[in-house]
Amino acid sequence: MSFRSFAGKRILITGAASGIGRALAEVAARHNAVLILTDIDAHRLNVAASELRQSGADILATHPFDVSDHDAVQAFATRFHDDHGSV
């Protein structure tokens, strides 16, 4: 699948504040994906989202939570679906 096919598609990225998650967000943004970003560190997530927006990224939502916490994942999924529909 080419990255061109991600144009306008919603992509959920965990660990988006740094490392592989941040790199994936940067690449997806360059290919016009709509980003939903999560990370355990709320401050670093906000910084990353701000920097990505400054470079032109289309960010639908950011949500800080721990993906190893099942209840937090369920709460995120419910809240996201209620607010935005499906990914």
Please give the CATH topology (third level) of the domain spanning 3-84: Rossmann fold (3.40.50)
* Rounded-to-integer distance, Cα 45 and Cα 71, Å: 20
Q: Which residues pair with 64 in a beta bridge?
A: 39
- Residue 2: pLDDT band with limits 50, 70, 90: low
The DSSP result for 8-68, as a single string, is T-EEEESSTTSHHHHHHHHHHHHTTPEEEEEES-HHHHHHHHHHHHHTT-EEEEEEE--TT
Tens of pLDDT, residue by residue over 29-46, are: 999 999 999 999 999 999
pTM (global) more than 0.85: yes
Q: What is the pLDDT of residue 87?
A: 79
Q: What is the pLDDT of residue 3?
A: 56
Tens of pLDDT, residue by residue over 48-73, are: 999 999 999 999 999 999 999 999 99
